[in-house]
A and B are shown apart, each in its own frame.
Chain A
Amino acid sequence: AQSVAQPEDQVNVAEGNPLTVKCTYSVSGNPYLFWYVQYPNRGLQFLLKYITGDNLVKGSYGFEAEFNKSQTSFHLKKPSALVSDSALYFCAVRDRDNYGQNFVFGPGTRLSVLP
């Protein structure tokens, strides 16, 4: 069975500092991995994905994530946080080798960027 863990409910970071939001996953096959962001009273917006190839993927708004197969992790990063990055972030996984499986979302991490 697929699962996603986001070990931190909340991450606080000062504006201008680098940020990391952690995600680990479990799938029986190879993963497709995704990050989404949710602003208050809005739907989820796609940030970036790992399908295959380069382990470092770049996405919207200056975010990037690194796929680490040995650690089964896909942490979201940004070199310099903005107050406007404050939101709820979800990691999601899908098993590439099991076509019938759907996306599984993590519980979310609330990011607060302090001015």
Chain B
Amino acid sequence: NAGVTQTPKFRILKIGQSMTLQCTQDMNHNYMYWYRQDPGMGLKLIYYSVGAGITDKGEVPNGYNVSRSTTEDFPLRLELAAPSQTSVYFCASSYPTLEQYFGPGTRLTVT
């Protein structure tokens, strides 16, 4: 049982490039989430999903897109990367109302 896995661990992007952050969970959780954590700050919700085929915006969705074609996978797409998207990105999953399980994070730098 690997829990929540994220790839890549680190990435440097140039301004204007695009990339996809991968997230997979093997706990059969309905809910999945993407957060960003800026230095010295708490977590901000980017997007979430309550099940395959259903996604919704969180607090800071601009510049990102998601899809959820399976229960296990919840990739986050960055289009036209900007320096403001430099952050650490965490994926999480949970059953409804219960605690979240977090992946190890992806550290992204946009220069």
Contact = CB atoms under 8 A, between A and B. Distances in A.
Contacts of A34: 99-100
B61 interface: no
A46 B100 contact: yes
Interface residue tally of chain B, by bracket?
20 to 34
A90 B96 CA distance: 20
Interface of A: 32, 34, 36, 41-46, 49, 51, 90, 94, 96, 99, 102-103, 105-108
A32 B42 contact: no
Contacts of A107: 41-42
Interface stretch (B13-21, B70-78, B79-87, B101-109): B101-109
Nearest to B99: A46
A46 B101 contact: yes
A42 B104 contact: yes
Q: Which 4 A-B pairs have the closest CB atoms?
A: A43-B102, A107-B42, A46-B99, A44-B102
B24 to A, nearest CB: 14
A45 B102 contact: yes
Contact of B43 (A45, A49, A90): A90
A108 B42 contact: yes
Given A102-B58, A105-B42, A105-B43, A96 B97 contact: yes
Contact of A43 (B41, B96, B98, B103): B103
